[in-house]
């Protein structure tokens, strides 16, 4: 993959999948601008410190980004051990708002890649709810909808990953047809990142043990990053509106 002359914005660039994606794409020639609430621990071409749970903070961060961006990788996220309101804000509402704000800066041929999760696979069971949330036009409207349709703490991570998949898929074709901008999701299974322990705590020992025999091991972050990069590349110029599992075959064991 060749990213010479391309400018890429990566949220969550300070650790885990975000850091590995930033490293990979810089090696392929990209100019990488990181966004994170934590200072980066790797070389970047630019960095914007931002709290992605607040609309005003996202708007302020966008003002610091280049006028043209070739791809946006939304990799930042919080685990389900965080309060449900924060999970909603960071993993869904803030991500969506950033996409909406950055759309005008993406040229035809540009790409958005969102990190969903294998835990979002049950979205068809709540499709009507997820489509209703997807139809809310902006951050504050989404908060108002969620106030009327509260999400339980125990299932909030799964719920908002499902919601992200539905929004990404239903919105993608409109943006592709009207602007030539592609949007896709990457759905990892368990990954060795700083928040893996939070996911084990969130799922509970029984669920973890039940799934353990279904896979060889959790992924390494550098096994997910190339898939994110591929979806940003010109090689994926006709790929839009998909949710691509990167889980070592875990999802296949449920068929």
Domain ranges of the chain: 7-248
pLDDT in tens, 186-195: 999 999 887 6
Query: Which residues touch 198 (CB under 8 Å, ≥6 apart)?
Result: 79, 80, 81
Residues 7-248, CATH architecture = 3-Layer(aba) Sandwich (3.40)
Beta partners for 11?
35, 74
Residue-level pLDDT at 68:
98
Residue-level pLDDT at 198:
65
Q: Are strands 182-188 and 243-246 parallel, antiparallel or unpaired?
A: parallel
pLDDT in tens, 187-229: 999 998 876 676 676 766 666 677 777 888 899 999 999 999 9
Structure tokens at 126: 């709540």
| Residue 77, pLDDT above cutoff 70 | yes
Selected catalytic residue, list 157, 159, 220, 254: 157
Strand order in the sheet with 7-11: 46-49, 31-36, 7-11, 71-74, 111-115, 182-188, 243-246
Residue-level pLDDT at 208:
62
Active-site residue flag, 92: no
Structural contact between residues 139 and 93, judged by C-beta atoms closer than 8 angstroms: yes
The mean pLDDT of the chain is 95
Q: Considering the entire predicted model, what is its pTM?
A: 0.94
What are the φ and ψ backbone dihedral angles of 213, each rounded to 5 degrees?
A: -75, -10
Q: How far is the C-alpha of 35 from the C-alpha of 56, rounded, in Å?
A: 15
| Bigger pLDDT: 192 vs 139 | 139
Structural contact between residues 23 and 220, judged by C-beta atoms closer than 8 angstroms: no
Residue-level pLDDT at 171:
98
Residue-level pLDDT at 205:
65
**Confidence band, pLDDT 50/70/90 cuts, at residue 32:** very high
């Amino acid at each position: 993959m060749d990213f010479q002359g391309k400018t890429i914005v990566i949220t969550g660039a300070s650790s885990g999948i975000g850091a590995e994606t930033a490293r990979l794409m810089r090696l392929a020639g990209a100019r990488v601008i990181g966004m994170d609430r934590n200072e980066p621990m790797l070389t970047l071409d630019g960095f914007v410190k931002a709290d992605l749970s607040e609309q005003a903070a996202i708007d302020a961060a966008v003002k610091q980004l280049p006028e043209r961006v070739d791809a946006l990788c939304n990799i930042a996220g919080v685990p389900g051990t965080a309060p449900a309101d924060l999970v909603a804000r960071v993993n869904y509402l803030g991500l969506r708002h950033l996409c909406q704000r950055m759309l005008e800066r993406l040229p035809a041929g540009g790409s958005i890649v969102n990190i969903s999760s294998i835990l979002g696979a049950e979205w068809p069971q709540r499709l009507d709810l997820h489509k209703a949330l997807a139809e809310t036009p902006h951050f504050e409207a989404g908060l108002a909808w969620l106030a009327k349709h509260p999400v339980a703490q125990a299932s909030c991570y799964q719920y908002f990953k499902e919601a992200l998949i539905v929004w990404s898929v239903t919105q993608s074709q409109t943006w592709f047809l009207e602007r030539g901008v592609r949007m896709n999701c990457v759905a990892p299974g368990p990954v060795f990142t700083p928040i893996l322990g939070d996911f084990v705590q969130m799922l509970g020992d029984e669920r973890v043990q039940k799934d353990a025999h279904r896979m060889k091991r959790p992924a390494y972050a550098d096994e997910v990053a190339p898939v994110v990069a591929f979806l940003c590349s010109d090689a994926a110029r006709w790929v839009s509106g998909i949710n691509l599992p990167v889980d070592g075959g875990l999802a296949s064991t449920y068929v």
